[in-house]
Amino acid sequence: MEAIFYVTQVILTMFTFYYFLVSLFGFWHRREGYLLPPQSRFAVVIAAHNEEKVIGALIRNLMSLDYPKELYEIFVVADNCVDDTAKIAASLGANVIARFNPIERGKGYALEYAFNKIFSKGDKFDAVVVFDADNLVSTNFLRIMNNRLLKGESIIQGYLDTKNADDTWITKSIYIGYLLTNRFWQLSKYNLGLTCALGGTGMCLSVDVLKKYGWGMTSLTEDLEFQTKALLNNLRVTWAHEAKVYDEKPLDLMQSWRQRKRWMQGHCNVAGRYLWTLLREGVRKRSFVMIDGAIYLFQPFFLMFCGLSLLNSIFFMPDRMLEQPVWVAAGFLGQFFYFGLGLALERVRFKIYGWLIFYPVFALSWIPVAFAGYVFRNNKEWSHTTHIRNIRHENLENYYLPARANGRKTG
């Protein structure tokens, strides 16, 4: 037990120190002007499965973006829908791509089908932007992506925010987690020149890249698989901190468990197929960007090591924790202080700091999720997350947080 304790502590210390070093580069954020004229043509693709309650709000939101209407088209891939998703989308002016395939189910398959249909039309698009049906989008989104594309970036991830943060302690915890990830992980890695993580929604993909390397993503985490595939081809994901996507989060622990378990299944599956290849290529090419990508793939195993260390300390070596209560308390308080700094950098309203009390409990729940994801890593059965929060984009600024739509601070 003591040997296990020391091995896990060494691994955890190394990864924690690495994450801390990376996070330090999130204290700096240079706001960009985004003054380049609109030139890029976008195919805006919405993946939807039985989303009649939320699809209308997103399409109306997209129709009002601060970008010339002739330079983007909206496509809704109605994937195995048995409700009025396709009917509502068509009535609001979106192009509907109906897909019925009960065997190949999931977002990866739906996007592959949609991309093939769009490209076969012969229309000239410069990039594809992907959203989920439950999203809302900052009105500056395409203008920012246009600037990034014209600067030479080809795979860009937008800022992932929450549209229903104030609903339950689960949504509050998720909101805190996303804010900290956006600031201390995504922005930090962008500042360092490392590859950022694709989030499945709010991502902008160059058509040239898609046509050259293909999509072909069929895992439960098609975003992570594509990100890894791009990295193996020396393409990195960049980060657009001002281009915001508001996502609906699960309301209770079981809904969140099912969603995160699916993510971990996909993450462990992709890690099993690519981690050592990416690490080997990084060492061979002396590319720290690839090595960092391999470290990110290791994340579920890091969580499992956290769980083993915690269990070992509680059941086999409780005296070690009791002998050092001051250090344990200092570490706990230091973590809250650092998280508070992250919230301060994101200029949240004062009440949001109180939500930090929920976050440690939610963070600990990731440990059993990681174990479950690893056990079922080869199960590709897709599960749908039900969305019901029909919130309009124009109401977001007064809803629960100081939304900085269009790059301005409103609270």
CA 47 – CA 55 distance, rounded (Å) = 10
Buried b (16+ CB within 10 A) or exposed e, 255-274: ebbebbbbbbbbbbbbbeeb
Q: Does the pLDDT of residue 405 top 50, yes or no?
A: no
Q: What tens digit of pLDDT does each residue of 298-328 get?
A: 999 999 988 877 777 666 666 655 555 554 5
Residues 6+ apart with CB under 8 A from 299: 267
What pLDDT does 403 receive? 43
Q: Does the pLDDT of residue 394 top 90, yes or no?
A: no
What pLDDT does 386 receive? 66
Q: Which domains does the chain have, with CATH numbers?
A: 1-28+37-400 (3.90.550.10)
What pLDDT does 66 receive? 94
Locate 55 and state its tokens.
Answer: 């699809």
What Cα–Cα distance (Å) separates residue 209 from each residue in 10, 38, 212, 302?
A: 40, 20, 5, 32
Q: What tens digit of pLDDT does each residue of 90-105 get?
A: 999 999 999 998 888 8
Residues 6+ apart with CB under 8 A from 200: 107, 130, 132, 221, 222, 223
159 strand-pairing partners: 244
CA 151 – CA 148 distance, rounded (Å) = 5
What pLDDT does 9 receive? 75
What pLDDT does 35 receive? 82
Q: What tens digit of pLDDT does each residue of 128-171 get?
A: 999 999 999 999 999 999 999 999 999 999 999 999 898 999 99
* pLDDT grade for 407, boundaries at 50, 70 and 90: very low
Give the 3-state secondary structure of residue 44. Answer: strand
User: What percent of the chain stands above pLDDT 70?
Assistant: 86
Residue among 216, 229, 269 at smallest CA distance from 380: 269
Q: What tens digit of pLDDT does each residue of 205-238 get?
A: 999 999 888 887 767 788 899 999 999 999 999 9
Q: What tens digit of pLDDT does each residue of 253-305 get?
A: 999 999 999 999 999 999 999 999 999 999 999 999 999 999 999 999 999 98
Interval 117-122 mean pLDDT: 87
Q: What tens digit of pLDDT does each residue of 80-90 get?
A: 999 999 999 99
CA 73 – CA 211 distance, rounded (Å) = 19
Interval 387-396 mean pLDDT: 64
The mean pLDDT of the chain is 87
pLDDT higher at 330 or 347: 347
What pLDDT does 330 receive? 57
Interval 360-371 mean pLDDT: 92
CB 296, CB 302: distance < 8 Å: no
Residues 6+ apart with CB under 8 A from 96: 75, 76, 78, 86, 89, 90
DSSP state letter for 246: E
* pLDDT grade for 409, boundaries at 50, 70 and 90: very low
Chain Cα centroid distance, residue 64: 24
**Can you give the pTM of this predicted structure?**
0.88
CB 164, CB 175: distance < 8 Å: no
